[in-house]
Amino acid sequence: MPPKRKAAAKNGGKAAKKRKAEETEIGKPATTQDKINALKAADKAVSRKYRPDSFIPDATDYEVYLDYDAMLNQTNIGQNNNKFYVIQVLKNNASTSYFSWNRWGRVGEPGQNAMKGPFASANDAVKDFEKKFTDKTKNKWANRDTFKSIPGKYTLIEMAGEDDAGEDTVDAGLSLQTDQKVSKCSLDPVTQELVKLIFDNDMFRETMQRFDIDVKKMPLGKLSKTQIAKGFEILERLEEAVKKKSTKPTLEKLSSEFFTAIPHNFGRRLPPVIDNQEMVQQKYDMLGVLGDIEIAQSMKNEKKENTNVSKTTNEVPNPLDVNYGLLKCTLTLVDKKSKDYKILEKYFKETKPTSSWRNLVLREIWQVDREGEAEHFKAHDNIKERKLLWHGTNVAVVAAILKTGLRIMPHSGGRVGRGIYFASENDKSAGYVSPAGKKGIMFLNEVAIGKQHCIYSDNPNLTTPPKGYDSVLACGTQEPDSAYDVTLTLDGKPVVVPQAKPKQTGKSSSFYQSEYLIYKESQNRIRYLLLLDF
């Protein structure tokens, strides 16, 4: 917690109490350490089960004995090492004999393997497992909860255990008896396709691979909150070293630690040294996406608690209905003939990208009502100036956003500081969309902009507007012509919606297109979700 906030809380001031209420209200940790602690605490609650390594011949003939399953990793940039070691104790289901399985090699490659056994007893197989674990890590398996990484040795990668999240069938996560069937989906066909898209496992995997994440070490269903938290911890030390302009060996060592904790597949390439703030921020953003993918996977893991069998029809709920329910929000398809649709469509068309290589096509619009968000937004009823603004994002994080809202992460940042970024031009926000295939998603949010503090050059240190202001506007050299603005009435309040192409403002600024910044999560409300073809 920053010193000023801690001092204010200690003095019991009204401002401190208000900030505390807002943090509690939105349910979001205020500091990096809070975030890390929350991740670790949540991970302890995960029930675990283990599956045999997929490279085991006839893997279905085996099961992992108890919890004897270790994924080890070691990255050493100086020696161009980026390697793994898998150790498991296996029980053969047919012969009830026990084996010790080892597989090792370069990250991203199958590597070499050895199956030892059969052993005379499970204890003998366990002894072999524990000896190999100690040889490779210089830690005892019995002390794995207090594992300490040793230079030159492998590090234990904490996995969340296997589950049904990795299955892609429509009935994934459901255990059907012979006389049961899956009920018909209650969602309209278009919304069904949206739910499929934002929970699609192939999309999650492709997103992780674009970050060079080794999806074999951090596969869906095994993304560990604790391991992600470790990545944050190491990045904090790396960031501090970068700011201090530490020596290359120091940065090399810390980078190796990061890639050991968060396994990356660089092929035969030398792992890069993270030696500047831009690279650090990219890795923070990557961990943020991984955390949101984990949220989506955790939601899918809740299916079994939401699949009660109907006593009258003997049907289990459709998985798409279940996933939709887990979002805790209502998505209402907007009629394309309605006045509201026409207004939003014009906003899109007038401010969308004009370059031929990024020709966006609007497919559908949903009105969004997130559970609890209206109540949080009421805290800003006194702010009269409101605007509908664009927010682009990665398709892989959409499910998490619908579940938890837009959040200010401990390490989020940019040209205008640590806040939530919006734009009055679709073109600006479209640059932040990471599509799945050709499908992209953008949000239109009602933002209580209030009195805006205008800036014309970068200020990455901002964490709040200046006193007397509600938000920050990084004024662009162009802005949609306000003479054509219209208003939508949302929950009884007028909200400005631009309707014209951008025009030159005549002002000198380092910003080409305007960026709107708020520094309180409750100061915006997701109003619409747009599905686009990229």
Residues 349-404 have pLDDT tens digits of: 999 998 756 789 999 999 999 999 999 999 999 999 999 999 999 999 999 999 99
Does the structure show a pLDDT above 50 at 28?
Answer: no
Indicate the range of 22-26, 143-147, 159-163, 503-507 predicted with least confidence. Answer: 22-26
CATH entry 3.90.228.10 includes domain 330-533: yes
User: Where do you find CATH 3.90.228.10 in the chain?
Assistant: 330-533
Distant-in-sequence contacts of 114-119, Cβ < 8 A, 24+ apart: 115/56, 118/92
Rounded percentage of the chain residues whose pLDDT exceeds 70: 84
Across the range 440-444, mean pLDDT stands at 98
In angstroms, the CA 70 to CA 143 distance is 13
Across the range 419-439, mean pLDDT stands at 96
User: Where do you find CATH 1.20.142.10 in the chain?
Assistant: 59-167+188-307+314-320
> Which pLDDT does position 168 carry in this prediction?
39
pLDDT band of residue 19 (cuts 50, 70, 90) is very low
Select the more confidently predicted residue: 22 or 272: 272
Pairing of strands 511-513, 476-480: parallel
Rounded percentage of the chain residues whose pLDDT exceeds 90: 73
> Which pLDDT does position 498 carry in this prediction?
98
> Which pLDDT does position 298 carry in this prediction?
84
- Residue 108, by phi and psi: left (phi above 0), alpha (psi -120 to 50) or beta? left
Indicate the range of 30-44, 406-420, 504-518 predicted with least confidence. Answer: 30-44
Amino acid in the structure at residue 513: Q
Whether the pTM exceeds 0.75: the reply is: yes
Residue in this structure with the two tokens 């209905």, named with its chain if needed = 321
pLDDT band of residue 226 (cuts 50, 70, 90) is confident
> Which pLDDT does position 27 carry in this prediction?
36
Report CA dihedral (124, 127, 132, 135) to the nearest 10 degrees: -140
> Which pLDDT does position 43 carry in this prediction?
44
> Which pLDDT does position 410 carry in this prediction?
75
Q: Which of 224, 521, 305 is nearest to 401 (CA)?
A: 521
Helix, coil or strand: residue 333: strand
pLDDT band of residue 304 (cuts 50, 70, 90) is low
pLDDT band of residue 30 (cuts 50, 70, 90) is very low
Does the structure show a pLDDT above 90 at 218?
Answer: no
CATH architecture of the domain with residue range 59-167+188-307+314-320? Up-down Bundle (1.20)
